[in-house]
């Protein structure tokens, strides 16, 4: 029984590690359908551990920051865009 639980956790480790990624659904589907092929599991693991591309942050002198996703200006100390919620 313990082996079954640990095996299931190990099998879905890429999905667990990538659950808060932007494309967590893709990682889960790859893990679920191709994890048994080992190479599919390895690819899902690499995908889950890879860094996500960050939206560029543009800093305009004297005008605060501009959101890299939607282009909305953000006030001085804001850490998140007030329009789309993206971290700036």
| Closest CB 67 distance from Zn ion, rounded Å | 3
List the one residue from 66, 69, 73, 78 that touches Zn ion (CB under 5 A). 69
Q: Does 67 bind Zn ion (CB under 5 A)?
A: yes
Number of Cβ within 10 Å of residue 11's Cβ equals 15
Q: With beta carbons less than 8 A apart as the criterion, state whether 48 and 14 touch.
A: yes
The count of chain residues that interact with Zn ion, using the rule CB under 5 A, is 8
DSSP annotation string for 53-66: PPPP-EE-TTS-EE
Q: Does 57 bind Zn ion (CB under 5 A)?
A: no
Q: Which residues bind Zn ion (CB under 5 A)?
A: 67, 69-70, 72, 81, 83-84, 86
């Amino acid at each position: 029984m313990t082996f079954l639980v640990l095996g299931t956790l190990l099998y879905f480790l890429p999905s667990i590690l990538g659950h808060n990624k932007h494309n967590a659904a893709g990682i889960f589907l790859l893990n679920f359908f191709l994890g048994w092929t080992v190479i599919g599991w390895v690819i899902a693991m690499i995908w889950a551990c890879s860094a996500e591309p960050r939206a560029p942050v543009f800093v305009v002198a004297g005008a605060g920051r501009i959101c890299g996703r939607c282009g909305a200006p953000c006030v001085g100390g804001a850490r998140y865009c007030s329009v789309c919620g993206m971290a700036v």
